[in-house]
Structure 1
Amino acid sequence: MLSLSKNKDRIDIIFFGRGGQGAVTASQAFAQAAIRKSLYALTNPEYGAERRGAPVKAYLRVSSRQVQDREPIVNPDISVVYDFGLVGVYNLDKITRSYIILNGSEEYAKKLKGTFSGSVGYVNAYNIAMKVIGRPFVNMPMLGALLQVTDIVDLDTLKGVVSSMFSKKVAELNIKAIEEAYKETKVI
């Protein structure tokens, strides 16, 4: 479990997704939850002029001190990966320090673990999204998975943020997807 402490006052996270998967929205939700816990958070997206389906990164810094850095994160503590195909594109097993959270199966997680010295968390966020939401929006289930590897924010705080970001009906579905992914995420 990755925590803020006296020895580690900042955790850097990158959400790796494709346009339309909600990586930026998830990063913003997690940042808001951190702020509600009296922490400092700064999030910024990186994407080009491409359209839906193109690679997207959302950088998130969470700290017990004010965050001044605005440049792209190069070596994240945690990489949250919405599409296994992006692992090789960004060499995530080489740049990530501690955790890679993967939308995928145990098979993909084990394959990644073979080349990564940190821990790999995995959940089938796509299946959860389709079952709970009825659409392939994996961002909220991936937030549930992220909660399994860090205690920066808690489930109740994140649920409060999601409730404030979406209409009641959409928020309820998103919260259910977060809770289900939180329960189903495994770490190897």
Structure 2
Amino acid sequence: MMISLKERGRIDIIFFGRGGQGAVTASQAFAQAAIKRNLYVLTNPEYGAERRGAPVKAYLRVSTRQVQDREPITSPDISVVYDFGLIGIYNLDKITKDYIILNGNEEYAKKLRGLFNGNIVYVNAYNIAMKIIGRPYVNMPMLGALVRVVDFVDLDSLKEVVNNMFSKRVADLNIKAIEEAYQEAQVI
């Protein structure tokens, strides 16, 4: 089951991560991929003065029409969760409407299933990042999982954005991680 932008007109996404995990970069990359598909976007981060490890949110609105609403998203259609511990901090099981995209394994997804009645997609982005990139950069693999559930961004537009964001070597590794996460993402 995919979330259809054509049916809804607008999709609200929040990326929940910790400082240093790349949630803001991921939201910007996904926004650029949506722009390549001639869509309207608004993305903005929310974080305090804390450093690495502190909770970070990045809001992304994708629409078929110009986005006027600049308020923080309070009830996202999709929550992209980089750290299982953030689910309780933000009560994601209660505020998310349709999908939670989770960085984790089946055990974490089953724990979440007990709390959340919507769709859960999980992928072990950490393992993919360590295997391919050699560092725990989970942001790009998480985008691979996100592409699985939307009809408005595809792998090709995302790869094009990644190629423009990073050096060739880094882009190639990130694209490989995105593709693997896309293939490995599981829905429960």
TM interval, short-chain normalised:
over 0.9
Structure 1 letter corresponding to 2:43: T
Aligned to 2:5: 4
Residues 26-85 of structure 1, C-alpha deviation per residue, up to 9 Å, x if partnerless?
000000000000000110000000011100000000000000111110000000000000
The separation in 2 between residues aligned to 1:69 and 1:61, in whole angstroms, is 9
Aligned to 1:98: 98
Aligned to 1:186: 186
Structure 1 letter corresponding to 2:134: G
Question: Any idea what SS the aligned residue of 1:153 has?
Answer: coil
The separation in 2 between residues aligned to 1:181 and 1:156, in whole angstroms, is 15
Q: CA deviation at 1:115?
A: 1.4
Q: CA deviation at 1:151?
A: 1.6
TM alignment of 1:7-86, pairs within 5 A = 7-86=7-86
Question: Any idea what SS the aligned residue of 2:50 has?
Answer: coil
TM-score (norm 2): 0.98
The separation in 2 between residues aligned to 1:174 and 1:151, in whole angstroms, is 21
* Structure 1 segments of 4+ aligned residues over 3 angstroms from their partners: none
TM alignment of 1:162-181, pairs within 5 A = 162-181=162-181
Question: Any idea what SS the aligned residue of 2:5 has?
Answer: coil
The separation in 2 between residues aligned to 1:115 and 1:78, in whole angstroms, is 16
The separation in 1 between residues aligned to 2:21 and 2:70, in whole angstroms, is 23
The separation in 2 between residues aligned to 1:142 and 1:84, in whole angstroms, is 13
Aligned to 2:158: 158
**Unmatched segments (≥5 aa) in structure 2:** none
Aligned to 2:119: 119
The separation in 1 between residues aligned to 2:52 and 2:107, in whole angstroms, is 27
The separation in 2 between residues aligned to 1:44 and 1:95, in whole angstroms, is 19
The separation in 2 between residues aligned to 1:54 and 1:70, in whole angstroms, is 24
Structure 1 letter corresponding to 2:176: K
The separation in 2 between residues aligned to 1:11 and 1:118, in whole angstroms, is 16
The separation in 2 between residues aligned to 1:48 and 1:172, in whole angstroms, is 32
Question: Any idea what SS the aligned residue of 1:174 has?
Answer: helix
Matched residue pairs, number? 187
TM-score (norm 1): 0.98
